[in-house]
Every structure is written in C-alpha cells, then in structure tokens.
Amino acid sequence: MLNIVLFGKPGAGKGTQAEFLKSKYQLVHLSTGDLFRKNISEKTQLGLLAQSYMDKGDLVPDQVTIDMLEAAVKEHPQAKGFIFDGFPRTKAQAEALDAFLEKQIMMIKATIALEADDSLLVERLLERGKTSGRSDDQDVQKITNRFQEYDQKTAPVKKYYQSQKKFYSINGIGTIPEITQRLSAMIETL
C-alpha cells in the first residue's frame, strides 16, 4: 500500500496536488478540511462543532478529528493506499494515526511537504477565497491565525516524521504540473 501524508501550510497546494496524485496512483484522497466542510454543509453535530473552530482559523480538537479520519479510512477497505491531506496537524494526531494504521496492518510510507513562502501562500489563499466561498480564506486575520496554529501545533509533526526518516520536502513554487512532476518523481523513489 502507498500511504502518503501531504504536508504543508494552508495554501501550499496539498488539495490541488492530491487530486492529481489520486488518479495517477489510484489512491483514496482524504482531506480532513473537506470532511469537516461536508459535515458543516450537512449540518451534522460534528459540523456544528467544527464550524466554531474553523471560522476562527483554529484547529478542531484532536479527538474529534482523529475519530472522523479513522471512520473515513474504514470506509475504504479495498483501497490501494491513501493520501492524507491536512492530517495529521498535531503530534498527537500523528501518533494516533500510526497506532491506528498499525492495527489495520498499514503504515505511512512518506510525508511530503510542499514548501512555499508565507507571502505567496497568503496571496494564493486570498485568491482562492474569491471563488471558494471559504470565509477562512477571505480574511487576513483568520489566515494569520491559521499560520500561527501551524507554527505552534503542526510544525512539530515535521520532527515526528523526520525521526522516522519519512520526511521529504518539495519546492511548492511553480506551475501545478511542475509541482505534480516533482511530487511524482519523489514518489517513484519510495
């Protein structure tokens, strides 16, 4: 199985690239952000809970996020592999993911980070906000808070995977096909 974590700050291009990689390698793409937004649009209890955090650009608490992700993985027993996009975002989530995958006799093969400067990321998010309808992409203060959450809570996840020798970085600046090409070249070496 090919299980990959796509890592990077908001706006790094994880979702865009996951769409290409999922068809190229026949993987299931699981984005916790998308799963939360689906719950919000369906007005589920989980959606209501998540919305209060997402609206501010805060991370949703670990346990609800982990439970949702595990349920989503279990929905795909025949999967050839998964692309985890936007998860794990804390060290506790990374540990929970490893423990869960081990129980399913699965493991993370690689965590690949898409790197780009903050100023470019803010530009991309504001541009996306014009069409995505996402309020967290339209407000510089919310974007700044998402970056702070990343620096405080998500950055340690890099060390976690580095200590397992599973962490790789890709230059996330360029055209979408250029970046897909870099990612594919990296994946083929795994």
Q: Closest distance between ligand AMP and the C-beta of residue 31, in Å?
A: 6
Q: How far apart are the first and last CA of the chain?
A: 12
| Per annotation, catalytic residue among 134, 153, 158, 182 | 134
Is 80 assigned a catalytic role?
Answer: no
Q: Closest distance between ligand AMP and the C-beta of residue 50, in Å?
A: 7
Q: Closest distance between ligand AMP and the C-beta of residue 85, in Å?
A: 7
| Per annotation, catalytic residue among 9, 89, 124, 142 | 89
Is 14 assigned a catalytic role?
Answer: yes
Contacts 24+ apart (CB under 8 A), 171-177: 171/115, 171/116, 172/8, 172/12, 172/13, 172/113, 172/114, 172/115, 172/116, 173/115, 173/116, 173/117, 173/120, 176/13, 176/16, 176/17, 176/20
Is 89 assigned a catalytic role?
Answer: yes
| Per annotation, catalytic residue among 22, 109, 128, 166 | 128
Residue nearest to ligand AMP (CB): 33
Which one, 2 or 49, has the nearer CB to ligand AMP? 49
Binding site residues, ligand AMP, CB under 6 A: 10, 32-33, 36, 53-54, 57-60, 65, 86-87, 89, 93, 136, 146
Which one, 58 or 98, has the nearer CB to ligand AMP? 58
Q: Closest distance between ligand AMP and the C-beta of residue 8, in Å?
A: 10
d(C-alpha 30, C-alpha 21), whole Å? 12
Cα-flanking dihedrals φ and ψ of residue 109, to 5°?
Answer: -85, -45
> What are the catalytic residues?
14, 89, 128, 134, 146
